[in-house]
A and B are shown apart, each in its own frame.
Chain A
Amino acid sequence: MNFVLIWLYLIILLIMIPSMFGFSLGISEIYMTILVKTLEWATLNIQKANSDEGTLKPSSSNGLIQRENGSMEKELEELRRSRPKPPVGGDFTLSDCFYFIRQGIESIVDDQVTQRFTSEELVSWNLLTRTNNDFQYISLKLTLVYGLGIIVRYCILAPLRITLTVIGVSWLVIGTSAVGLLPNWRIKFWLSELVHVMCYRICARGLSATIRYHNRENKPKKGGICVANHTSPIDIVILCTDGCYAMVGQVHGGLMGIIQRAMVRSCPHVWFERSEMKDRHLVTKRLKDHVNDKKKLPILIFPEGTCINNTSVMMFKKGSFEIGTTIYPVAIKYDPKFGDAFWNSSKHSMVSYLLRMMTSWALVCNVWYLPAMHQQEGEDAVQFANRVKSAIAHQGGLVDLQWDGGLKRAKVKETFKEQQQKKYSNMVVRDDSSSNSD
């Protein structure tokens, strides 16, 4: 029993209290330096072993294939070059099918969408069992370091991090409920913000998170909406260690529900019942009301609607862009070397995911605050959303995709197939004035 107490006191003194007040004793920094050096050494070793053997392992940043990037029109023109165009009427050649067949087979081998819903492939092994796809015995030293890593991660780091997270979450619930009991004086808001930030800082320590914030002068202000790309629920912890936001989401039961109810006691968040979420007007109205009240915190929204693997940004849902207020875009990019932050909800439950996070090396990420954006004249919500998405993708070094993140679970809409068919049929049934097309 004594041992547990000593352990708790040590944690509180050395980690929790400094992090609550925003400074650090330097222990994590030392750990990170050792970690970076170890991973570099491991990478060099693996590369040396590979080049000795003569096997040049293909870097996974190369795709499987090199695709033709011509448009449908250009490719079909080329295919049809071999025969003269008929002077009037439509134009169909059997060889047109080659274009579609090749496109189809190329997408079977390597497509832009399905790869976004599984973890990113690493260029070089980072000494974690879970990323070891191609087990090769390299050297005794490397295996020893790998074994040591397992002991360190599971026996030292994981219990430490779990303790911190439990403390952090309990403090969040107790602290916000306590603040909620106060009457609505100025001090209540200040205390509420303090409690929130402290708890998130403890939780961030509980994940060994090293976060670098860029351009903090662009931080979201009250009355605006903060949008960011979504990789996992931990995004919330990452952003909230540096500022206070109002959350938006569905009401949950269980532990999440307790946390949600506690949080809303100290400052307003926007929680929706499941049934309310279907009513778009209701959702828009509640969000509008929130942003119009200048005393309330900026809302945090993830417009992709689902977790993506942090290599790309997928379609932003236009709902938040119709509200008509200032949008503060934020780009979040995790460094996959230290741990994979992506939550593959079809593969891991939330608890299993959190445990994986706590047994990774660390969580390293960069957060860029981008300058505020407004909807421009003559721009509709969808175009505005795309513009913000491009800005975030560009800053974070992510691929900007038009595809909907909902394709993770749902089938692609028939309308997209019809678009392709229409495009092709326009080439076949060319609509010049002399031919009869519909």
Chain B
Amino acid sequence: MGSRASRLLREEEIEEIKKETGFSHSQITRLYSRFTSLDKGENGTLSREDFQRIPELAINPLGDRIINAFFPEGEDQVNFRGFMRTLAHFRPIEDNEKNKNPSATEPLNSRTNKLLFAFRLYDLDRDDKISRDELLQVLEKVDVEQKMSIRFLH
């Protein structure tokens, strides 16, 4: 029939993703639309080739590493949940989230998690080490919250 989504997103799934990532309902459906349009094989997952088909990403010097960040250790396919989980790091930090209960699990887009994401891109052998001084510099002075956030429209 030529419908856009080979599989429609169920309401329960949308609620789960909303809780985990903090995206709004309409943002999730639109990002799902984007996910399916990138999924040329129409099997509900993205491979590395699907990402490399984006020209702006292919010419990015860090392109390959960014793509790797989507794939969990040793896997070649990422599903929509994984896709959203990675994108969630780039949601802007809203003011009402800043003063949340400190003992609750940290949201994916917290300042620390944003830094961890960037850190992991450099830590290719995944042994949790890069130069200490450089990292301290970044931790202290750079406005990580703004520089590692994307303005998602509602």
Contact = CB atoms under 8 A, between A and B. Distances in A.
Interface of A: 57-58, 62-67, 79, 82-83, 93-95, 97-115, 118, 129-130, 132-134, 347, 403, 407, 411-412, 416-417, 419-421, 424
A63 B154 CA distance: 10
Nearest to A82: B141
6 contacts: A65-B153, A95-B137, A97-B62, A101-B121, A109-B34, A112-B56
Contacts of B6: none
B148 interface: yes
Interface stretch (B10-18, B47-55, B98-106): B47-55
A109 B31 contact: yes
Given A94-B122, A113-B55, A114-B54, 9 more contacts: A67-B151, A97-B118, A98-B144, A100-B61, A103-B56, A104-B57, A105-B150, A347-B2, A420-B61
B30 A64 contact: yes
Interface residues of B, number: 51
B60 A107 contact: yes
Contacts of B142: 79, 82, 95, 98
Nearest to B25: A55
B113 interface: no
B31 A94 contact: no
B87 A412 contact: no
A82, A83, A108, A109 pick with most chain B CB within 10 angstroms? A108
A112, A417, A421 pick with most chain B CB within 10 angstroms? A417
Contacts of B154: 58
Given A82-B142, A94-B138, A114-B37, A63 B58 contact: no
Contact of A102 (B26, B51, B61, B148): B148
A412 B2 contact: no
Contacts of A58: 26, 30, 153-154
B7 interface: no
A357 B148 CA distance: 45
A427 to B, nearest CB: 12
Given A58-B26, A82-B141, A95-B142, A420 B60 contact: yes
B110 to A, nearest CB: 16
Given A64-B34, A95-B142, A102 B59 contact: no
B51 A108 contact: yes
Given A58-B26, A64-B30, A106 B60 contact: no
Given A111-B56, A133-B4, A102 B147 contact: yes
B54 A133 contact: no
B55 A407 contact: yes
Contacts of A134: 29
A111 B53 CA distance: 11
B93 interface: no
Contact of B61 (A93, A107, A417): A417
B153 A95 contact: no
Contacts of A112: 56
Interface in B50-98: 51-63, 66, 87, 90
Interface string B116-151: 011001100000001100110110011010011111
A114 B53 contact: yes
A104 B98 CA distance: 26
Contacts of A65: 150-153
Nearest to B4: A133
B153 A63 contact: yes
A109 B87 contact: yes
A121 to B, nearest CB: 9
A107 B3 CA distance: 24
A372 B5 CA distance: 45
A113 B56 contact: yes
Given A79-B142, A130-B2, A101 B148 contact: yes
Given A107-B54, A113-B56, A114-B38, A100 B62 contact: yes
Contacts of A421: 61
Given A98-B118, A101-B118, A411 B58 contact: yes
B122, B134, B150, B154 pick with most chain A CB within 10 angstroms? B150
